[in-house]
């Protein structure tokens, strides 16, 4: 049985630089691991501080782990 693949991407502010945007993160992960929305669960938190653990995507990730 294949393990569930989960991708978690987050950025802090709506003014995030393109270098670490959600799309950039997902493209980098896919280019290295060949993991994308076709073969993995993708959880995203947009404009959420890392110090706030009450993020929807992060909380969902904790229920999976």
- pLDDT of the chain along its 65 residues, tens only? 678 899 999 988 766 666 678 888 999 999 999 988 888 999 999 888 888 899 999 999 999 86
pTM of the model: 0.80
Report yes or no: 52 and 13 within 8 Å, Cβ to Cβ: no
HEC string of 21-48 equals CHHHHHHHHHHHHCCCCCCCEEEEECCC
Closest to 5 in 3D by CA, of 27, 28, 32, 37? 37
């Amino acid at each position: 049985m294949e393990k569930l693949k989960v991708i978690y991407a987050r950025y802090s502010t709506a003014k995030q630089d393109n270098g670490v945007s959600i799309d950039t993160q997902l493209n980098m992960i896919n280019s290295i691991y060949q993991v994308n929305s076709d073969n993995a669960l993708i959880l995203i938190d947009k404009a959420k501080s890392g110090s706030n653990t009450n993020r929807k995507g992060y909380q969902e990730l904790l229920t999976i782990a």
